[in-house]
Amino acid sequence: MQYSAKAINAQKDRSDCLIVTLSNGGKLSPAAEALEKNGANLAALCKREGFHGKEGETLLLHSPTGTQAQRLLLLGIGAEKPGAAGFVRALGKALDALKNTPCKSLAFMLGEVDVEARDTRWQALQLAQALEASQYQFTRCKSKPTKNVFKPTKAVFGCAGQKQLADADAGLKEGSAIGRGANLTRELADLPANICTPSYLATEARRLGRKQPKLTVKVLEEKQMKELGMGALLSVSAGSDQPAKLIVMEYRGAAKSQAPFALVGKGITFDTGGISLKPGPGMDEMKYDMGGAASVFGCVQTLLELQPKINVVAVVAASENMPNGRATKPGDVVTSMSGQTIEVLNTDAEGRLVLCDALTYVERYKPQSVVDIATLTGACIVALGSQASGLFSNQDELAEALLSAGETSGDRAWRLPLWDEYQKQLDSNFADMANIGGKEAGSVTAACFLSRYADKYPWAHLDVAGTAWRTGAAKGATGRPVPLLMHYLLQQGS
């Protein structure tokens, strides 16, 4: 899609659809007022149709008067100065209203909207990101895919003046790149597990690195992992015919001497629970247990598109968790790369086993910070639902930076405690620690487990079990937390 920022004359616009805003009580925006003066008769139309300008209200007019555009979409934004979340929700409703139209060119008169505590760049970013998300459709496994009717090729952010142009252009560039990265995350996560195996992810990494001088890709095979002592990770893949892969993607946008930021993704491409077998209903959704890894891929693609001046090392620990005759059994003791031993009390707590070796592996890069991303615990869904990702960190500064990135992007997280008092739940009579901590505070004890492998650098853990995908009739990957992670990384680059 082609994005641009322009100062638009609403009366002379020739797009397939012109989008103008109204606030509570049907109050017209400046663009809507200009159309009204040009004979659009919007006030009367709104009264007749019961349109009051409430947040997310839409009214689509065909062959409207007052403008040369083919269609006019009236969009309610609620308050004259809407909040950030309300503005994003209204954008979503506007795109919903257009999804059954064949519009190719769109003009959004959004520069005249004053969003509380947000600027033009942010508004343009959110528009581009929403438009990219609206184009995602999983069709790969359908013999006769239903084509998306709404396929715009051109979108214009209408600025209120020339001063907004540079900020709007920058926001459109950033938002479209983040949106496309999130769509790659969706695609990888939505793929069935018989296609998206650890080997498939390795191939995808090599594809990303093709003809990209700033990206180096390395894939460690099981033999190399064994030589490194990654007994925890390999204990998970022991029951699968699919070999595990440790995928390392190094993006270099700054001097080699500059320490990188690290992303570590849990890549369990299918999780049966292993010998601690999960119940059958809903097990199909365990293809999403590589959602953390998928978000790492989305971030790498976005980095390659935006080329920020930072270094990033992205590590994906990829494996299946299957129950064959060689599978790890409850009560087995394994030795991690760090030398610490783990009593595996539950083979369905496997994500932390692949992550702990990956966290030890990234020590060699002496990173400025490490963020691991994992669909780790059902307990996090119980605690936070599907609204916020769970955040744990051993450094307040890093935690605050991630929380701020979540608020700015709208991809929010909530910090949970990582107190020493929880560590004792991981005590084991037969090893240095157990891999589960009992029924209480399951997401906290999982993070406590990981913290034992992340004491050499500033570290944060994002539990995205509730946010990486939707269940039910709208089942599908969300692309989260790519927006949060990219806002954090780009802030470091600035």
Residue 148 confidence (pLDDT) above 90: no
Mean pLDDT of 7-35: 97
Mean pLDDT of 417-438: 98
Task: State yes or no: is 48 an active-site residue.
Answer: no
In the structure encoding, which two tokens stand for residue 402, read together?
A: 């991630």
The answer to whether 319 and 244 are in contact (CB under 8 A) is yes
Task: Identify the band that residue 226 occupies on the pLDDT scale cut at 50, 70 and 90.
Answer: very high
- Catalytic one of 54, 214, 278, 470: 278
Distances from the Cα of 378 to the Cαs of 120, 143, 439, in angstroms? Answer: 38, 34, 11
Distance from C-alpha of 420 to C-alpha of 397, rounded to nearest angstrom: 19
Task: State yes or no: is 104 an active-site residue.
Answer: no
The pLDDT assigned to 493 comes to 87
Domains of the chain and CATH, by start: 2-142+149-161 (3.40.220.10), 183-493 (3.40.630.10)
Mean pLDDT of 359-388: 98
Distance from C-alpha of 61 to C-alpha of 76, rounded to nearest angstrom: 14
Cα–chain-centroid distance for residue 60? Answer: 31
Task: Identify the band that residue 146 occupies on the pLDDT scale cut at 50, 70 and 90.
Answer: confident
Cα–chain-centroid distance for residue 134? Answer: 15
AA identity, residue 219: V
Beta strands 154-158 and 2-6 are parallel
Q: Percent of the chain having pLDDT more than 90?
A: 99
Task: Identify the band that residue 159 occupies on the pLDDT scale cut at 50, 70 and 90.
Answer: very high
Mean pLDDT of 192-220: 98
Q: Which run of H or of E encompasses 397?
A: helix 396-409
In the structure encoding, which two tokens stand for residue 171, read together?
A: 């926001």
Give 256-281 pLDDT, tens digit per residue: 999 999 999 999 999 999 999 999 99
Q: Which run of H or of E encompasses 131?
A: helix 120-134
Give 327-342 pLDDT, tens digit per residue: 999 999 999 999 999 9
The pLDDT assigned to 362 comes to 98
Q: Percent of the chain having pLDDT more than 70?
A: 100
Give 160-178 pLDDT, tens digit per residue: 999 999 999 999 999 999 9
Which pTM value belongs to this model? Answer: 0.98
The pLDDT assigned to 65 comes to 96
Distance from C-alpha of 72 to C-alpha of 35, rounded to nearest angstrom: 10
Residue 64 confidence (pLDDT) above 90: yes
- Catalytic one of 186, 352, 412, 480: 352
Task: Identify the band that residue 82 occupies on the pLDDT scale cut at 50, 70 and 90.
Answer: very high
